Chain A
């Protein structure tokens, strides 16, 4: 297990290097000039050229990459062109929102997905099964921004139950009750992603039911529901672990849209705004941090998988 983990970490390093090179190249190929965006409408070409020089954006690309990589290895992601602040602190400002949003979304996915998956499996083939898997698939077919717009219209504008947008920090006035700002966004994000976990829980439950010890338990006259529950938690956990790996990337992607609709000060909206402003260091930094997170999450998921399910051999 330890040897496997170490080996995986060694594979991670070249992958990360390649990923960072790719991010760097992509971003510097984007047309548009951050200096021109920054100086605004009345700037002369000379002003723009001078600022470009001052920001080091006139150096050859490979020099810029080596400089950036060197700084990155020292934990310095550079300075945001737009905010004139360290990229790391700009990302950290958005991280609270993004992390809380992801946690709340996973919470909804688990709290709705696991029970529905279990019930679907135990009532395999019944109308409950059909309705729940059909419903989950339907939810996965709704564009997130469309769903978000209507949730705001119904729950914030018409009923006035929940705030429509924004998110004051939980360290701000209001404390933990500020989490209510994330209720609608997290439900919007959870809806399309619950389908996957329902399917995985249902499938793994059905697999278990075919296994020998379960059949034995049943033959002994135990009620099928009790048999199911005896195995629910481990299997549910396995499914959740697997789904977490899959869902992570989807959550990050769809968070870009959700954070835009609900105007949340998270990392996703930061990327979109930074692309519009051509704030290269921030785009690079955010994408790289997300890529690292993705890789680490997947490593952890694989390890958890091996630990939870002895049938999986790690090599």
Chain B
């Protein structure tokens, strides 16, 4: 029959394609990302994905060691003068940008100024700066209004932070993210190309000037072993997992908790926990609606929630979550149990009583959540059930993320919304500390504590004040933490030099094939 001929030629075609060699480059690392970042400009963009890519090519004055303490990267040394009101930072010499120019104080000055004026987190530091100047070829002097505790953490946190660009790039840049052709940094990898929808490609920076010290977290020596790193958008999580198992990617991020046990046992897959946990937050509307200034009602809602079943349902294995009421995780210098006994009471009857006392008469409470993050939605479903049992009339509104962030900016549209927060090294960076963040928590108590918190450079004193702020959060309930989630990534076992967990974002200097 003729049909067999069709078959034969079709099968022959398949065979030829199947047998073609399957690895396409020895020196390329293929990283499956959750999507594409809006931009890689670290000054203005706070997306974690952007930093995962960008911290291979941009560096700041400081970075974090494995204990999350800030240590010098482009900065060689610093001294505090004038009771901590003047900071003099000396820069490392012989550091070359990707365009071949040497990094000097002028570059640092221009970068810090652009970050201070337009950067996402720059205002936190710059609102306290009275003057900044290049006091030498390799020296920068920052003058402060008052001693300011978090300065070094802010300079070390590269996400939305002060990456050092050449002066020509930084001075020309405004509020808009800088264009990819101007991605010039000092890091061990440099920008190669960004193909929309396809990949962002970095290549090794051969003129990299490494620190000579043992690697420790992000600190110490950095060596680029790969010729290229490709960050490939693979938004579907199932595809990221199958792709890594099939050998199409070497590293894949953000994998669901329920697959952890199977993947951990699979010899062809290496699991890598992310060091800093992320945590869900349910914000309350302080500007409008039934929750405005009704702190008793807010506490009633807080008392109704039991966080454990929500964490079980949304994450799975107990290794990957912690029902922890402290905003920063155990072991961290900012850990505090102040107010945390109200974290997860799950007291249905008590909550009902508290709500009645607070004057609640069954008014609908609008709760916005997005399905773009599965764990937001899963937890919200559990909480909605718990609140309904305690007599609250919850109107769960499910949107896609873009709609949710549009709506949450309008105070008349919502009472509660679900989001999550990444790990940050200093509590001042937590979104609820920002008076303008939707929810708009800006009470007199907060203002007083916040002024004290930033007004001292004494670490022990700052930790004490942070505990007071945390207990104010459990008292006024501007937001409810839903528990720590340890996300994890998976890697091919061929990769060597990978730590068993990441510090904050994965990094691939000192990693080899």
List residues of chain A with CB under 8 Å of any chain B CB.
31-34, 36-45, 47-48, 50-51, 54, 80, 82-85, 89-90, 93-94, 111-112, 115, 119, 149, 152-153, 156-157, 160-166, 168-169, 172-174, 177-180, 183, 260-263, 265-266, 269-270, 273, 276-278
**In the complex, chain B residues whose CB is within 8 Å of the CB of A164:** 239, 242-243, 245-246, 248
> 9 smallest A-B Cβ distances: which pairs?
A177-B20, A32-B402, A180-B17, A156-B246, A164-B246, A265-B198, A265-B197, A263-B234, A33-B406
Smallest Cβ distance from A86 to chain B, in angstroms? 10
Beyond A115-B3, A165-B239, A168-B24, is A85–B402 a contact (Cβ under 8 Å)?
A: no
Contact A156 B242 (CB under 8 A): yes
Contact B372 A276 (CB under 8 A): yes
Smallest Cβ distance from B381 to chain A, in angstroms? 21
Smallest Cβ distance from A264 to chain B, in angstroms? 9
Contact A82 B18 (CB under 8 A): no
Q: Mark B399-430, 1 if CB is under 8 A from A, else 0.
A: 01111011101000000000100000000000
Smallest Cβ distance from B109 to chain A, in angstroms? 24
A sample of 14 more A-B contacts (CB under 8 A), given A157-B246, A183-B17, A277-B402, is: A32-B402, A36-B405, A40-B45, A42-B160, A43-B120, A93-B195, A149-B238, A153-B242, A164-B239, A164-B245, A165-B243, A263-B232, A269-B235, A278-B402
Q: Mark B374-409, 1 if CB is under 8 A from A, else 0.
A: 000000000000000000000000001111011101
Contact A160 B247 (CB under 8 A): yes
Closest residue of A by beta carbon distance from B419: A41
Smallest Cβ distance from B238 to chain A, in angstroms? 7
Chain B's interface size range is 35 or more
Among B24, B160, B197, the one with the most A-chain Cβ atoms within 10 Å of its Cβ is B197
Contact A263 B196 (CB under 8 A): no
Among A34, A41, A50, A262, the one with the most B-chain Cβ atoms within 10 Å of its Cβ is A41
**In the complex, chain A residues whose CB is within 8 Å of the CB of B177:** 84
Contact B409 A84 (CB under 8 A): no
Among A37, A39, A164, A266, the one with the most B-chain Cβ atoms within 10 Å of its Cβ is A164
Closest residue of B by beta carbon distance from A92: B196
List which B425-441 residues lie within 8 A (CB) of chain A. Answer: 431, 434, 436-437
Q: Mark B177-190, 1 if CB is under 8 A from A, else 0.
A: 10100000000000
Among B14, B236, B402, B403, the one with the most A-chain Cβ atoms within 10 Å of its Cβ is B402
What is the CA–CA distance of A183 and B20 in the complex, to the nearest angstrom? Answer: 13
B121 at the interface (CB under 8 A from A): yes
19 contacting pairs across A/B (C-beta < 8 A): A31-B406, A32-B405, A33-B409, A36-B409, A45-B436, A51-B175, A83-B196, A90-B197, A149-B238, A161-B18, A164-B246, A177-B17, A180-B17, A180-B18, A261-B236, A269-B235, A273-B36, A276-B400, A276-B401
What is the CA–CA distance of A160 and B2 in the complex, to the nearest angstrom? Answer: 31
What is the CA–CA distance of A128 and B354 in the complex, to the nearest angstrom? Answer: 73
B454 at the interface (CB under 8 A from A): no
Contact A37 B402 (CB under 8 A): yes
**In the complex, chain B residues whose CB is within 8 Å of the CB of A266:** 197
**In the complex, chain B residues whose CB is within 8 Å of the CB of A174:** 20-21, 24
**In the complex, chain A residues whose CB is within 8 Å of the CB of B136:** none
Query: Which residue of A42, A45, A115, A168 contacts B431 across the interface (Cβ within 8 Å)?
Result: A42
What is the CA–CA distance of A89 and B197 in the complex, to the nearest angstrom? Answer: 11
B46 at the interface (CB under 8 A from A): yes
Query: Which residue of B195, B232, B400, B407 contacts A166 across the interface (Cβ within 8 Å)?
Result: B232
What is the CA–CA distance of A166 and B31 in the complex, to the nearest angstrom? Answer: 12
What is the CA–CA distance of A260 and B18 in the complex, to the nearest angstrom? Answer: 23
Closest residue of A by beta carbon distance from B247: A160
Contact B196 A90 (CB under 8 A): yes
What is the CA–CA distance of A110 and B226 in the complex, to the nearest angstrom? Answer: 44
Smallest Cβ distance from B278 to chain A, in angstroms? 13
Beyond A166-B243, A166-B248, is A42–B406 a contact (Cβ under 8 Å)?
A: no
Contact B405 A42 (CB under 8 A): no
Closest residue of A by beta carbon distance from B25: A173
Smallest Cβ distance from B236 to chain A, in angstroms? 6
Beyond A32-B402, A84-B179, A276-B372, is A260–B234 a contact (Cβ under 8 Å)?
A: no
Beyond A31-B406, A174-B20, A260-B236, is A93–B197 a contact (Cβ under 8 Å)?
A: yes
Contact A31 B20 (CB under 8 A): no
Q: Mark B231-275, 1 if CB is under 8 A from A, else 0.
A: 011111011001101111100000000000000000000000000
Contact B18 A162 (CB under 8 A): yes
Beyond A33-B406, A177-B17, A261-B236, is A50–B175 a contact (Cβ under 8 Å)?
A: yes
What is the CA–CA distance of A293 and B236 in the complex, to the nearest angstrom? Answer: 28
Smallest Cβ distance from B411 to chain A, in angstroms? 10
Smallest Cβ distance from B263 to chain A, in angstroms? 12
What is the CA–CA distance of A114 and B513 in the complex, to the nearest angstrom? Answer: 48
**In the complex, chain A residues whose CB is within 8 Å of the CB of B176:** 54
**In the complex, chain B residues whose CB is within 8 Å of the CB of A177:** 17, 20-21
Beyond A85-B196, A269-B197, is A32–B242 a contact (Cβ under 8 Å)?
A: no
**In the complex, chain A residues whose CB is within 8 Å of the CB of B44:** 39
What is the CA–CA distance of A10 and B474 in the complex, to the nearest angstrom? Answer: 69
Contact A40 B46 (CB under 8 A): yes
